[in-house]
Structures are given as C-alpha cells and as structure tokens.
Amino acid sequence: MEKESVMGGEHMQSSVAVPRVLVIDDENVVGDLMGFMLKRAGYDVSVVLDGTAGLALCESTPPDLVITDITMPDMDGIEFLRRLRKTGIRIPIISISGNPVGMKFLDAAKLLGAREVLRKPISEKDLLEAVKRSLQESPHD
C-alpha cells in the first residue's frame, strides 16, 4: 500500500532529472523521517509500508534507488531483495535495520545485492551520503 508520495524539486526549472527514491519501512515515523530528509535534499520520494507494495511499485515504475528495512511483516527486506532480483530489474538498494534480529541479516542483504547497509538510528548525514554513493555507482550486473 502506498503511504505517501512527496515530489521533491517539482518547481525546478532545470532539465536535470530528479532521482526517484523509494523508501520501504513498516514504521511510519521512520519512513516519514527518511522521506522528509530526502525530499529536503531534493529527491523525489515515495514511502510505502511493506515489501509487497514496494515490489509492485518497482515493477510498475522503477525508482532510481530503494531504501528498505530488513525486519517487516508480510514481506521482509531479504524476501523483497530476492523477489526483486528474480524480476531482472536492477535498482541500487540500501538495506537498513535497527532490530537486533534484522542486524544479523544485513550481511545477507549485501550478498543479495544491497549496495549499502545502515543501522538505525540513521543520521541525516549518513543517509544522504549513502544515497549519493549508491546513485553514483553503475547498476549491478
């Protein structure tokens, strides 16, 4: 289910494309905060509450980057990564977790193609640096 769509930079007169970032996190506060920080930095942000909604959005309108929590009900971040990989869509991924159980799976997320792994709580500086690095690299093979 799509929770929020925030358009960053829609009033810009530049012809430079604004990177689209999808945030997947079942915690409203976390998703809203990351969305706010990314929007303020000029990104076009969508926030969804679960992996199923995130996967559907990636298949219909692939973003330039996905930030996904690891520990979520319905479809967790690891299952999201597996299913996304099966679609053949190559999108840079940042995996995040603050849950002790989820922390154990951050290495698995890297093996499944996550470019970055971040531990919650995430500072705005760390988030924006990880996003910038992930967007600068070429897509995974």
pLDDT in tens, 48-75: 999 999 999 999 999 999 999 999 988 9
pLDDT value at position 106?
85
- Domains defined for the chain, CATH in brackets: 2-7+18-136 (3.40.50.2300)
Quick count: other Cβ atoms within 10 Å of Cβ 32? 16
Please state the rounded mean pLDDT for residues 69-91: 93
- Tokens standing for 50? 């679960």
Return the percentage of the chain with pLDDT > 70, whole number. Answer: 86
Single-letter code of the amino acid located at 16: V
> Scanning the structure block, which residue is given the tokens 């970055």?
116
The pTM of the full predicted model, rounded to 2 decimals, is 0.86
pLDDT in tens, 101-114: 777 788 889 989 99
pLDDT above 50: residue 16: yes
